[in-house]
C-alpha cells in the first residue's frame, strides 16, 4: 500500500500547518476559548476560505475532497494548534446531510462549507453512554409533521450552533437499532432549550431539552426508522477525525518535551542525557508512530463498503488512540516535572485535549468491546 499523500493533500497539509503555526498561536487559541462563543467566527470563516472545511466533503457535495485521508490531513493539522472551531460537528452533520439529505436539506452544506453556518450533533443522552442505539428521545407524527420530546447531553459546540442533527426514536424499544430517525432542528425552534457549559480542554458543550418541539415533515433526514446506519457512518468519520487530531496533538507534545529535555539542566548537564529519561522518551516516540499507523488504517477503511471491516478499523484506531493519548499526556507531563501542570504552559492543554479525545465518541474500553463484538458478528 502506498502511504504517501497526493500532491494536493501535501499542499493542503503544508498550508494548514503553516496557517496554524503563524496565525493560530497559543495566545490566539486561548483568546478564542475565553470568548463568549468558545471559538472565533472570524477564524471559522478564514478556515473556510482556505478550503479546510471544503476538504472534508466530496466535490459532488460542493467540497474539495471528502476521502478518509483528506479528513486525516485536515484534523492532524488542527490538532497541532488545539483548534477549537467546530470542525468535528460540521463534518459529522454535513456527512449525514450529504448522504441522505433532500435538495432543500442539502442547501445547508453550502453554509457549512462557506463558514456561514455551524452545526452540532445531538445524539448522546443522559443515560445512553456511548451507544448509538440507546435513544429515549421520542418523535411522533402529527398533523403538521413531527413532535419531539426528550433530552440530549454533552452536545459539543451546541451552545451557539445554528443547526442540530437530533436522533429520536419513532418506533421500537430503547435499545433497538431499528426505529431510530434523524431530524434537522434549527436554532430558535419553539420548545428547544439550551444550557451551555465549559469543558476541561477549553471547548464548550450544551445540554438540550426538547419539549414538544414541532417540526415540519421536511425535517426528517433520510428514511423514517433507518437513521442508525446513517448515524453510524457519520460518527465513524468523526472518530477518524478525532484520531487524526490526537496524532497532531501528540506530535506537538512530543516536540515540546524533547526541547525541554535538551534545555533543562540538572547537576550541570541537560536532563535529556540521562539514560532513564531517554528510554521513557523512546517509548513515547514508538507509541506515537503506532498511533499514526492506526490512523492511516482507519483512513483507508472509513469508506469501505463492508460494515464490519470499516467499523473494526475505526474502533481499533480509537482504542489505540485512547491508550496512547493517555500515555503521551502522562509521560510528557512527568518528564516536564511540576511545570508540566501549569495553565500557562501549552503542554498542559495538549494533555487535557488528549484525555478529552479519549472520551469523545466512545472511550478506549467502549471501542475495545465494540471491536471484539464486531469480530464475532
CATH number at residue 275: 1.20.140.10
Q: Is the residue at 88 inside a domain?
A: yes
Do residues 238 and 303 share a domain? yes
b/e sequence 154-176, b meaning 16+ C-beta within 10 Å: bbbbbbbbebbbbbbbbeeeeee
Do residues 276 and 183 share a domain? no
Q: How does the average pLDDT of the chain come out, rounded?
A: 93
- Looking at residue 2, its pLDDT comes to 57
Q: Is the residue at 21 inside a domain?
A: yes
Dihedral sign, CA of 48, 51, 53, 59? positive
Q: Is the residue at 209 inside a domain?
A: yes
**pLDDT per residue as tens digits for the range 177-207:** 999 999 999 999 999 999 999 988 888 999 9
Which among 74, 306, 77, 205 is positioned nearest to 94, based on CA atoms?
74
d(CA 13, CA 5): 10
Report residue 340 as a C-alpha cell: 508540566
Q: Structure pTM?
A: 0.95
Report residue 311 as a C-alpha cell: 467499523
Do residues 358 and 256 share a domain? yes
Q: Is the residue at 1 inside a domain?
A: no
Q: Three-state SS for 118?
A: coil
Do residues 109 and 135 share a domain? no
Q: Is the residue at 246 inside a domain?
A: yes
Q: Is the residue at 2 inside a domain?
A: no
**Domain extent at residue 77:** 7-117
- Looking at residue 341, its pLDDT comes to 81
CB 182 within 8 A of CB 96: yes
d(CA 147, CA 212): 6
Do residues 49 and 110 share a domain? yes
- Looking at residue 3, its pLDDT comes to 61
Domain-terminating residue out of 117, 141, 166: 117
CATH number at residue 155: 2.40.110.10
- Looking at the structure of the chain, the number of domains it has is 3
d(CA 127, CA 150): 12
Q: Is the residue at 256 inside a domain?
A: yes
Which residues, given as ranges, of the chain have pLDDT below 70?
Answer: 1-3, 377
Long-range CB pairs of 345-349 (<8 Å, 24+ gap) are 346/26, 346/82, 346/252, 346/256, 347/253, 347/256, 347/257, 349/26, 349/29, 349/82, 349/201, 349/202
Do residues 334 and 351 share a domain? yes
Which secondary structure element, helix H or strand E, spans residue 105, and what is its range? helix 103-114
Which among 219, 245, 201, 289 is positioned nearest to 16, based on CA atoms?
245
Do residues 291 and 278 share a domain? yes
Do residues 36 and 169 share a domain? no
Amino acid at each position: 500500500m502506498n502511504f504517501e499523500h497526493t500532491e494536493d493533500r501535501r499542499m493542503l497539509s503544508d498550508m494548514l500547518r503553516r496557517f496554524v503555526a503563524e496565525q493560530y498561536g497559543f495566545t490566539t487559541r486561548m483568546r478564542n476559548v475565553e470568548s463568549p462563543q468558545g471559538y472565533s467566527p472570524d477564524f471559522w470563516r478564514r478556515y473556510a476560505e482556505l478550503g479546510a472545511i471544503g476538504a472534508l466533503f466530496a466535490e459532488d457535495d460542493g467540497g474539495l475532497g471528502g476521502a478518509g485521508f483528506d479528513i486525516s490531513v485536515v484534523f492532524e493539522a488542527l490538532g497541532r494548534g488545539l483548534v477549537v472551531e467546530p470542525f468535528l460537528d460540521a463534518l459529522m452533520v454535513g456527512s449525514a446531510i450529504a448522504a441522505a439529505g433532500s435538495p432543500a436539506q442539502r442547501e445547508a452544506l453550502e453554509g457549512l462549507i462557506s463558514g456561514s453556518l455551524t452545526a452540532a450533533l445531538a445524539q448522546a443522552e443522559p443515560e445512553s453512554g456511548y451507544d448509538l442505539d440507546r435513544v429515549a428521545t421520542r418523535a411522533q407524527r402529527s398533523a403538521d409533521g413531527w413532535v419531539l420530546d426528550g433530552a440530549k447531553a454533552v452536545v459539543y459546540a451546541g451552545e451557539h450552533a445554528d443547526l442540530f442533527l437530533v436522533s429520536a426514536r419513532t418506533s421500537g424499544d430503547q435499545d433497538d437499532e431499528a426505529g431510530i430517525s434523524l431530524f434537522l432542528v434549527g436554532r430558535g425552534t419553539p420548545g428547544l432549550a439550551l444550557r451551555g457549559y465549559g469543558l476541561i480542554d477549553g471547548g464548550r458543550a450544551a445540554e438540550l431539552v426538547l419539549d414538544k418541539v414541532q417540526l415540519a415533515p421536511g425535517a426528517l433526514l433520510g428514511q423514517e426508522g433507518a437513521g442508525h446506519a446513517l448515524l453510524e457512518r457519520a460518527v465513524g468519520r468523526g472518530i477518524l477525525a478525532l484520531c487524526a487530531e490526537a496524532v497532531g496533538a501528540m506530535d506537538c507534545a512530543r516536540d515540546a518535551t524533547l526541547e525541554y529535555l535538551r534545555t533543562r539542566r540538572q547537576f550541570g548537564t541537560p536532563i535529556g542525557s540521562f539514560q532513564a529519561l531517554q528510554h521513557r522518551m523512546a517509548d513515547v516516540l514508538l507509541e506515537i508512530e503506532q498511533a499514526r499507523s492506526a490512523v492511516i488504517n482507519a483512513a483507508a477503511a472509513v469508506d469501505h463498503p463492508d460494515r464490519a471491516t470499516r467499523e473494526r478499523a475505526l474502533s481499533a484506531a480509537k482504542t489505540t488512540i485512547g491508550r496512547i493519548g493517555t500515555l503521551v499526556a502522562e509521560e510528557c507531563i512527568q518528564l516536564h516535572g511540576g511545570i508540566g501542570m501549569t495553565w500557562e504552559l501549552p503542554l498542559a492543554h495538549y494533555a487535557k485535549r488528549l484525555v478529552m479525545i479519549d472520551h469523545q465518541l466512545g472511550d478506549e474500553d467502549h471501542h475495545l468491546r465494540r471491536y471484539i463484538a464486531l469480530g464475532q458478528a
